[in-house]
Amino acid sequence: MNKKMSPLIGVTTSVNSRDYEISNQSVVMLPENYPKAIRKAGGIPLLISECDDVDELLDCLDGLVISGGRDINPNLYSQIPHEKTTDFSDIQDSWEISLIEGAIDREIPLLCICRGHQLLCVIRGGQLFQDLPTTEGYEKHGATGGNWSEHIVKLEKDSLIFELLGSEIMGNSGHHQGVSDAGDLRVVGKTSDGLIEAVELDDYPFLISTQWHPEMLGQDSVFEGLIQASSR
């Protein structure tokens, strides 16, 4: 009798230049919190890198996590880059857009975090604030000098994220951009000052998108929900 395999969960990585064995080498990077959270929830993490074949990947994945990382090119949401929007990659943007769109077409369970949250909103017709520390009303958000900020996020009752985490959570901010318009996605979580921190897609089996990092905050139920949905 064949043993049922744990669900295979793809998680995106970023390519960055780092001194690794030799100086200034392109290195595939991902914080360990992501695969640890997937394993703890009962899944098998598969680290995937930009330019991997999207169709081949999605044909073998049971679920997908779009991780955090660099900025998104403002041209994708018809804006001119802010002076502090300098770290973006057209290759990564294009590949992850294809990945998200392909996953949605296949109704693959999807969890988008931080950069992933922002990119999902852009794909669905939304807009971003390019630099929260210089955006009136949102100056307290983001990471200044490497120091992350924290804030309460209130969650809507009629949502997947509410079922998993309850009515409110303490979120964290390691970003300087934020979602100003979620497009056709349903907003299910906001901070007290109105920043969009969580969205979902109606009539979709499992799609949760958060600006904060559940993998860093011990919010295991989010990953357990992803694994459960990916096991069906």
Q: Which one is catalytic: 96, 197, 200, 215?
A: 215
**Selected catalytic residue, list 96, 112, 114, 141:** 114
Of 117, 151, 176, 213, the catalytic one is 213
Establish whether 168 is a catalytic residue: no
Please, are residues 47 and 61 in contact by the beta-carbon 8 Å criterion? no
Between CA 35 and CA 157 the distance in angstroms is 29
Q: Is 60 among the catalytic positions?
A: no
What are the tokens at 167? 């009515």
Q: Is 213 a catalytic residue?
A: yes
Task: Give the active site residues.
Answer: 114, 213, 215
